[in-house]
Structure 1
Amino acid sequence: MYGVEDAATIAAVRAYVKLLRASRAVVARTLPRLAEAGLTHTQLGVLEAVLHLGPLTQRDLTRKLLTSPGNLTDVIDKLARRGLVERVACKEDRRSVRVVLTDSGRAFIEGLFPGHAEDIAAAMAGVTGVELAELDRLLRRLGKGAAGD
């Protein structure tokens, strides 16, 4: 396979390609609802993270969403212009800023997220609950291994 003869490497490449294709297929199923709401996946990620975890620093969001600080700044700027989030100075560390949902941002994401979750569930309906649990376990292990944890 393209000059690679090691069976483990070939298996890893094949699994990687399947992982990317599956990921892209699931993402494609969620795009129409997000486009209708005027959101990118990263913007949704910010809103969802702050909804479920509470106010987060931009640094925490950068790590959680696996995006660059520059991209995240742009994403938050756009959400702030729409009145969905605001930046609030941290009382404990004046150098740090937390991203907080506005009341309209909370109402927006609380209205959008259930349908988004249904889109994900529909995209993943080809696997059983038991298989999803196993997939979750394997992907967590893969992510930790790839990150060197």
Structure 2
Amino acid sequence: MGTKFKGSKKEVQALDSFIKLKRASESLSSRLISEFTKWNISESQFGVLETLYHLGPLCQKDLGDKILKSTGNITLVIDNLEKRSLVERVRGVEDRRFISVHLTTEGKKLIEQIFPDHVKRITSEFSVLSPEEQDVLGKICKKLGKKNEPTAK
């Protein structure tokens, strides 16, 4: 279903593409995220665990930036993971104002259980696209995502 908007050809094409992208993204996310309920974690909590697992400890702001969450939201996500002993906040030794978020042993065990199946489900979902189509999609998404980022000087 495309847009019913009656604008210029350029506007209709952009809106139609946006609707298709949004619907595909929402549909894919809902299928992938549904598995998180059996682990009693949210998509944001999974994002934090996965990011810490692959990148190591990060300060809260950098963690929020990585998973595209606001400062207030990432605080709540980390609070909830900390209550479950899946992450811990660690104050810097030299600068006690600096706090980094670390995976606990329990958090590492959980993400190591969840992540392989998550990768399999993503691989299955993307199998409808050829490797070349996946490459093109990746480039298009990157181009859209970086459109308004300042260029390096």
Q: 1:39 aligns with which of 35, 38, 41?
A: 41
Counterpart among 1, 5, 8 of residue 2 in structure 1? 5
State the match for 2:146 in structure 1. 144
Equivalenced residue count is: 148
Corresponding residue for 1:124? 126
**Higher helix content, 1 or 2:** 1
Aligned position for 2:32: 30
Query: Gapped runs of 5+ residues in structure 2?
Result: none
Q: Sequence identity, in percent?
A: 37
Runs of at least 5 residues in structure 1 that lack an aligned partner in the other structure? none
In 2, Cα distance between equivalents of 1:28 and 1:60? 26
CA distance in 2, matches of 1:148, 1:28: 32
| Cα distance in structure 1, aligned partners of 2:5 and 2:58 | 45
* Amino acid in structure 1 at the alignment position of 2:68: L
**Greater RCO, 1 or 2 (C-alpha within 8 Å, sep 6+):** 1
Q: Secondary structure at the match of 1:4?
A: coil
Aligned equivalents of 2:5, 2:78: Cα separation in 1? 42
1:101-116 equivalences in 2 (<5 Å)? 101-116=103-118
Residues 61 and 104 (structure 1), Cα distance of their counterparts in 2 relative to 1, 3 Å cut: same
RMSD of the TM alignment (CA)?
1.5
- Shift of the alpha carbon at 1:74? 0.7
Q: Is the 8 A contact 1:29 1:123 kept in 2?
A: no
- Aligned match of 2:55: 53
In 1, Cα distance between equivalents of 2:17 and 2:94: 45
Q: TM-score by structure 2 length?
A: 0.89
Counterpart amino acid of 1:110?
E
Q: Residues of 1 paired with 2:110 and 2:92: CA distance? A: 24
8 Å contact from structure 2 (residues 57, 101) kept in 1: yes
Amino acid at match of 1:68: S
TM-score by length of 1: 0.92
Task: Supply the distance in 2 between the matched residues of 1:62 and 1:126 (Cα, whole angstroms).
Answer: 31
Contact 2:6 2:12 survives alignment (8 Å): no
CA deviations on 1:92-142 (whole Å, 9 max, x unpaired) are: 542221110001110110111010111122222211111111111111111
